[in-house]
Structures are given as C-alpha cells and as structure tokens.
Amino acid sequence: MSRSAYETVKLARSGRRPTGLDFIQGVFSDFFELHGDRRCGDDGAVVGGLADLAGRSVTVIAIEKGHSLRERMLRSFGAPQPEGYRKALRLMKQAEKFHRPVICLVDTSGAYCGIGAEERGQGQAIAENLMEMMALRTPVISLLIGEGGSGGALALAVADRVWMLENAIYSVISPEGCASILWKDAKRAPEAAAQLKLTARDALAGGMIERIIPEEGLGKAEYYAALRQALNAELEGLLQLDTQSLLEARYQRFRRIGKEREA
Amino acid sequence: MPFLEFLFQPKNELEQGGRSAAPVQSDEREPEKTCPNCHNAIPLSRLWAGLNVCPCGYHFRMGVRARLRYLADKGTFRELFSEVRSGDPLGFPGYADKLETTRTSSREEEAVICGTAEIQWQKCCLFLMEPYFMMGSMGTAVGERITRLFEYALEHRLSVVGFTVSGGARMQEGLYSLMQMAKTSGAVKRHSDAGLFYLTVLTDPTTGGVTASFAMEGDIILAEPGATVGFAGARVIEQTTRKALPKGFQTAEFLLEHGFVDAIVPRSRQKALIARLLQMHAFEGGASA
C-alpha cells in the first residue's frame, strides 16, 4: 500500500464514507433505537439501540456523523457530548444485565469541545466509561469505521476486540493539533500524521487492534454480509468464555501496552 | 508597649501578611516572584516557607519533592517503580532528546513518582505528578507506574492518594499514550471493586487524558484553589466555538459549582484532611495503621 498516512486521514474523514447508521442498517437488522441518558438529555452524535446480528440480539452503539449538512449539524459532526457517553454507558449496562453482547461503531474526530460539554463533565463522562467498560460482564467488540479521535473514541473502545477498517485512523491527537503544538504550524499536518503512526496497519503492529477489515474488492451488500459473518463468528468465540476469563483477558489486553517499555 | 507585644510585632509588611515558619530575609537582593493574582513581589524564602502559596491565597505550582516534604511524614516515603522509564515507541522526531534534557533539568526520571508513605501515621500508596516534567504528560511510563501502584495497593489492601497535574496524554508516544487511559482506569476499577479507597487531589493544571481517566475516578475528589481543571483546552474551545469563555471557566471553583469535585482544599489544610479521610477508610486489622 503506497498511500501516505495523511491520505488515509483524508479518506477516514471523507463525507462520502458510510457512517455509523449506514453500518447499522447494512450489517444489522431490526434496529430499534433507544434514546436518552436518563440524566439530562439525548445526544444526536451517539446512536444506540437493540438490533439483530445474524439471529442474535445485540446492543449496538454508534457515533454518527450524518451525511447532509443539516444532519451533520444535528449530530455535531460526530463529536459526542457527555450525554452521548452517558447514553452509551446506560445501554451497555442494560446489555450487561441481559447478557447481550455489545458492538460499538466508532467514528469521531474527538469528544465535543465546548463550554457546555465542560460544564457537564466531559472528562468525567469519558473516565467513567473507561472504568465501567473494563468491567462490563458481557462481550464487547469495537469497530473503528472512520476517525478514532483520542479519548472521545477510546470511550467506546475499551473492548475485548478492537477492529479497524482499512482506511480508518486511530490517534491520540489530530495531525493538525500535533503539528500546531509541536511546530506551531498546522500546515505540517501530513508530516505529523506520518509520525503519529495512526493507520490501521500501525495500530495492528503495536497490538492496539486485533484485525483490519479490508474496504475494497467487495460490493456493498457482500461487504456488509462479510462483516456480519466476521462479527458473529467472533461473538461466538467470546460467548464461550466464562465472565471471569473474559474480564481477565480484557484487562490484560490493555495492561500489556507499554509494559515492555522499560529501560 | 508591653514587652511581649513588642517582641512579636510585625517587623515589616510581609510579616503582617501572615505567619511564616522561616525567618524573612531582609537581603534586598533576594530573588522574588511576582504573584499573578495580587501582583505583589514575594521573596522566594517566604514563598517556600508558606508552601508555595502567596499570602493572597494564590497557589503556585509545586514540584513533587517539595510536595512530599509537606505531605508525607518525615522519612516514611518509599519510592516504587522508579525503574520504569519511557522509551520512544514511535521514534518520534526530537522526543528522545527532549526526554534527556527534561530528565536533566527536572532531576526526575518521569512525570510521576509513586510509592508508599505515611500521612500522619496513616499508611497509604501515593502518587504525585510532576509539573516540571513535560507538564505531567502521560506516556507509557506514567501509565505503567500508576497501574503498578494500584495493583500494589490492591495486593496490600492500601488506600491510594494521588495528586494530579497534567497537560494530557503525551502525543510523542501516540496510541501507546492513549491506551494508558484505559490501562490505568482498569487498575483503578479493580482496586475500587475490592472496596479500597482512592482519593485524588486535582492541582494546576489537570487536563486532557488524565482528567478523562484516573483524575476523575477517585471516591473523593479534592482540588487546590484556583487550579485549572478540564478536558479540552480553553484556547481550543474559544477557537472552536468563537464564544467568550465565562469568567472562572475550568477552575476548581467552576468544577465545584457544577458538581465534579467534593471540596476545594488549600495546601495548608491538605495533610490533616487527607489523614482524616484515610483514617475513616482504614480497614479493621488492615494495613492502614
């Protein structure tokens, strides 16, 4: 693959890319959306509900960017508010109660950046998701379908398996942000993108994800069908594990990252 | 004037401002620091004697060793995991050099120190983040040290007290840094689920990935007066939303008002309060004694 890291970034952000809801409609059937965080609101950037995956009931949660400008504004361009993370956590807790697997579809440039979001505890909302997802007593698979922007993406990606689409990205900071902090020049983003190692192949090499889902070579329907098969097969395996082994493996999955980096 | 009053009358204006444990230098050449709040110049000796707090109440930042001196009972701190250091997992340009110069200038190996200590005879695990080491940013070493501390605390059934200072995740370590948020949160969760106590004190500044992980996961969350605490950076928010930020935005007082911290505690009252809270959460027959 000769594509540069920044070209991948542009692909991951492309408005023509299928969004979370497209994946929900394509991969799952009988989706029933559940609204609200039961505390103060309902965030349009996070869509969640019940769905059928190859005959199995699952909870599916997606960050949705929207297609048209109107839609994108309604969904704050896929940047979740604290209410979005709290809704996601509510649905995950519900899934845990009924021992229903959870599938998260992640596509965000980052958590919403605004006065209200800070007032309502954006940091606390993300922190709580990280903590609670680590101990969620049901299988969780997260799929990064576009942008995996920092803590805002991680808050839906503390999972037993994390997969990335071929042209998705996963990064601690946007290449523009990195370039402007380090070199005081946002135009050097392509350089930063290359240094940040944010492509799916880099993430796989670093052990942050388990699988890359190819994007090319299949028609739309076959593509979604293949993904459905893959998710179903993976869930099959995860559901064989007893809860204790599942949670231990999830803990160790993250525990080992950065462990070997000692002088 | 009665003799005793004469003896204790303030010799100068600085003495009038408060009581200080160390003698105030009258040397005119003594270095001073200007307080960003009251704009008065304060001699350094006086500042240090007053826990780096201006008489007006402004809390200056404090390095980890100075904090240890007022917090831990003398000679009780035993540092753990100091061998864990950051590598350069991405081979990020300039990072290895930056680490080396920071290690030299700060005289610390990493942006957090961990260990066990006694605070007014209450034994606990303690971590302190270092503002003078890349502004306490969290890379793999910070994540690993904190994770190990919680695992150690779980094994020995100890409470954890943590002082946070951080600009967020350390971008030079890319996704490795980001994953430390999940890793540390997992360790906090296990410690918490075992019924053990975790207290955080948010100090200036606590932002980004640290706010969005272990800083906000304490059973009790305290903050130092005036500390900046938030997730997104204030300047970034201003640029993105093109709105003027409200006064006092993202300060400890702002968080208290919105329900995200339990109390704001000045430095001079921290030790006694932390000791009392530790004592209230001590296990019967447990290690806390």
Size of interface A-B (CB pairs under 8 A): 178
Residue B204's nearest CA partner among B274, B252, B249, B134 is B252
Residue B83 lies in a domain: yes
For residue B126, what pLDDT is reported?
Answer: 98
If contacts are CB pairs under 8 Å, which of residues 193-252 in chain A contact chain B? 195-198, 202-203, 206, 208, 250-251
CB nearest A255 (choices: B183, B237, B241): B183
Residues B167, B211: contact at Cβ < 8 Å? no
Residues B71, B270: contact at Cβ < 8 Å? yes
If contacts are CB pairs under 8 Å, which of residues 57-116 in chain A contact chain B? 111, 113-115
Residue B13's nearest CA partner among B48, B40, B52, B51 is B40
For residue A118, what pLDDT is reported?
Answer: 96
CB neighbourhood size of B175 (10 A)? 26
Residues B220/B182/B99/B148 CA torsion (nearest 10 deg):
70
**Are residue B142 and residue B35 in the same domain, yes or no?**
no
Residue B182 has pLDDT above 60, yes or no: yes
**Are residue B257 and residue B237 in the same domain, yes or no?**
yes
Q: The CATH number of the domain where B245 resides is what?
A: 3.90.226.10
**Are residue B47 and residue B154 in the same domain, yes or no?**
no
The answer to whether B162 faces chain A, any CB pair under 8 Å, is no
Surface-to-core class of residue A89, CB atoms within 10 Å of its CB (0-12 exposed, 13-18 middle, 19+ buried): buried
**Are residue B146 and residue B217 in the same domain, yes or no?**
yes
For residue A217, what pLDDT is reported?
Answer: 78
Residues of B in contact with A259 (CB under 8 A): 144
Residues B162, B187: contact at Cβ < 8 Å? no
A55 to chain B, minimum CA–CA distance in Å? Answer: 32
Look at B212 and A155 and tell me if their CB atoms are within 8 Å. Answer: yes
Number of domains, chain B? 2
Per-residue pLDDT of A19-32, as tens digits, reads 999 999 999 999 99
Residue B288 has pLDDT above 50, yes or no: no
Residue B10 has pLDDT above 70, yes or no: no
Residues A46, A87: contact at Cβ < 8 Å? yes
Banded pLDDT at B235 (limits 50, 70, 90) = confident
Mean pLDDT in residue range B4-20: 59
Residues of B in contact with A154 (CB under 8 A): 178-179, 181-182
**Are residue B118 and residue B204 in the same domain, yes or no?**
yes
**Are residue B180 and residue B37 in the same domain, yes or no?**
no
- B103-117 residues labelled b (16+ CB within 10 A) or e (exposed): eeebebbbbbbbbbb
Mean pLDDT in residue range B15-40: 71
Residue B16 lies in a domain: no
Banded pLDDT at B289 (limits 50, 70, 90) = very low
For residue B27, what pLDDT is reported?
Answer: 57
**Are residue B68 and residue B118 in the same domain, yes or no?**
yes
**Are residue B226 and residue B124 in the same domain, yes or no?**
yes
Residue B9 lies in a domain: no
Instruction: For residue B258, give its domain range.
Output: 62-280
Residue B71 lies in a domain: yes
CB neighbourhood size of B49 (10 A)? 17
In the structure encoding, which two tokens stand for residue A15, read together? Answer: 């408005």
**Are residue B51 and residue B114 in the same domain, yes or no?**
no
Between CA B144 and CA A197, with CA B132 as vertex, the angle to 5 degrees is 50
Average of per-residue pLDDT values in chain B: 91
**Are residue B33 and residue B157 in the same domain, yes or no?**
no
Between CA B237 and CA B163, with CA B257 as vertex, the angle to 5 degrees is 80
For residue A263, what pLDDT is reported?
Answer: 40
Per-residue pLDDT of B35-63, as tens digits, reads 999 999 999 988 988 999 999 999 999 99
Residue B115 lies in a domain: yes
At the fourth CATH level, which superfamily is domain A18-172+196-249? Answer: 2-enoyl-CoA Hydratase; Chain A, domain 1 (3.90.226.10)
Low-confidence residues in chain A, pLDDT < 70: 1-2, 260-263
**Are residue B156 and residue B203 in the same domain, yes or no?**
yes
Last residue of some domain: B60, B76, B105?
B60
**Are residue B146 and residue B221 in the same domain, yes or no?**
yes
Residue B15 lies in a domain: no
Last residue of some domain: B60, B84, B105?
B60
